[in-house]
Amino acid sequence: MSSESLRGLSERHRKAILSFLARVRERLRDVEIYLTGSLARGDWLLDSDVDLVVVSDELADLKPWERYAFLRRLAPPDVPFDIMAYTRALRKALVSPEPLLRLL
């Protein structure tokens, strides 16, 4: 993933996302991460949260709230993150009207 896909975001958002991606990469080998919400649409504000969809079968043994807690601990605490975590099978079953920008 290059930071090129994060061009146009605030420096604060860009640094927070890159930090999160690096920490996730250290812990999950098989993972896809998508940016959604206002940051993906381009209508974000400086105080917008970072909306992410994380897809990995390595999270399958965790309950949904455990997945969120595990991933949220990897995100910088000073930037709000909203993280949805799915297995590949569950992600395929979901259809989202929101744009998804693949980051990892």
Q: Are 81 and 20 in contact (CB under 8 A)?
A: yes
Question: Which H helix or E strand runs over 27?
Answer: helix 11-27
Cα distance between residue 41 and residue 75, in whole Å: 21
Query: Consecutive 10-residue runs of the chain (104 residues): their mean pLDDT?
Result: 75 97 96 94 94 95 94 97 89 64 74
What is the pLDDT at residue 5? 76
What is the pLDDT at residue 17? 98
What is the pLDDT at residue 1? 45
| Helix, strand, coil content of the chain in percent (nearest 5) | 40, 20, 40
What is the pLDDT at residue 72? 97
Contacts of 81 by beta carbon, 8 Å cutoff, 6+ apart: 16, 20, 49, 50, 51, 52, 72, 75
CATH architecture for segment(s) 3-102: 2-Layer Sandwich (3.30)
